[in-house]
Amino acid sequence: MTKRGSGKSASFVKIGFSTDEALVYQTLLRDGASDVKHLAQKIGVLPNALYRLLIKLQDKGLINLNGRHPTFYHALPPAFALDNYLKIKKGELETAKEMLVSQLTPLQNSDQTRIDLIRNNQEFFLTYAELANKAKKEINIISIGEPVPEEVLLANRDAIKRGVVIRFIVHRLDENNKELLSSWTKMGLLVKHYPDWGFHLVVFDKGKSLLSINNPERTSDRIALVIYSEGLAKAHADYFKSVWEKAEKI
């Protein structure tokens, strides 16, 4: 963006917002409701990028929109909006904690299971590409549905050429990623949509799992585990199958 908000943005960042999200919210709060075209001009950002920020702010409970055309977005009062956000954040953290506890408890005192910690986003994608290159039958993925690095695309392409079936359940389906998902389908991935948030799960040949819990406000921030356990991978595969049966084909 070409413009930045005041020092208040730093306080937003401390509780999990990006600087750009803080700027959009403060602008709507100060200047009143706006459509995307005029708001984008005001803060100096392309409309497509602004749509993504507005979706995030809406998910966090800070803004609302009306159904008119063009759609107008307006900021909710700060006290009410931040209460909304904190409730959503607390729920996300509780869910993430419960998921990790349920997944990790069976692993205690197991000599047949190895778990590797992944410390950053780049390592996460490199690990995926490495495991995908070794897959022989299937790769089952649950994730957000956002752009991925070139090495992931190449690993998927090569896996499909080897006859590996790649099934992908995306959490998000909107105007911002329809074209991306269409390109994956053309590549040969089987893609369905099931609304959810906050985690990534990949199961390779029902023998290895890649589990990641991400920061819903900044999806590049994540804690991830590579789990080498046939028993747990089978449980993950069964969970994937149950969601796949409920998901809708795009």
What residue segments make up the domains of the chain, in order of their start? 8-85, 110-249
Average pLDDT (168-197) is 93
CA proximity to 243, closest of 135, 169, 162, 136: 169
CATH architecture of 8-85: Orthogonal Bundle (1.10)
Q: In this structure, what token pair is assigned to residue 202?
A: 């990949």
Summarize pLDDT for 204-237 with one digit per residue, the tens. Answer: 999 999 998 866 566 556 688 999 888 889 999 9
What pLDDT is recorded for position 213? 82
- pLDDT value for 3: 47
pLDDT of 127 higher than 70 = yes
Helices and strands of the chain, counted as H and E runs: 9, 11
Contact 25, 57 (CB under 8 A): yes
- Is the overall model pTM greater than 0.75, yes or no? no
Residue 33, classed as helix, strand or coil, is coil
Fold type of domain 110-249: Endonuclease; Chain A (3.30.870)
* pLDDT tens column, 34-79: 999 999 999 998 988 999 999 999 988 999 988 667 889 999 999 9
The proportion of the chain whose per-residue pLDDT surpasses 70, expressed as a percent, equals 89
pLDDT band at 129 (very low <50, low <70, confident <90, very high): very high
Per-residue pLDDT, 7: 58
Alpha helices in the chain (DSSP H): 8-14, 19-31, 36-43, 47-59, 78-104, 121-134, 150-161, 178-187, 230-246
Task: Choose the most confident range, by mean pLDDT, from 61-75, 93-107, 109-123, 136-150.
Answer: 136-150
Is the model more confident about 79 or about 7? 79
Distance CA 156, CA 162 (A): 10
Contact 86, 39 (CB under 8 A): no
Q: Which has the minimum average pLDDT: 9-18, 107-116, 139-148, 240-249? A: 107-116
Predicted pLDDT at 118: 85
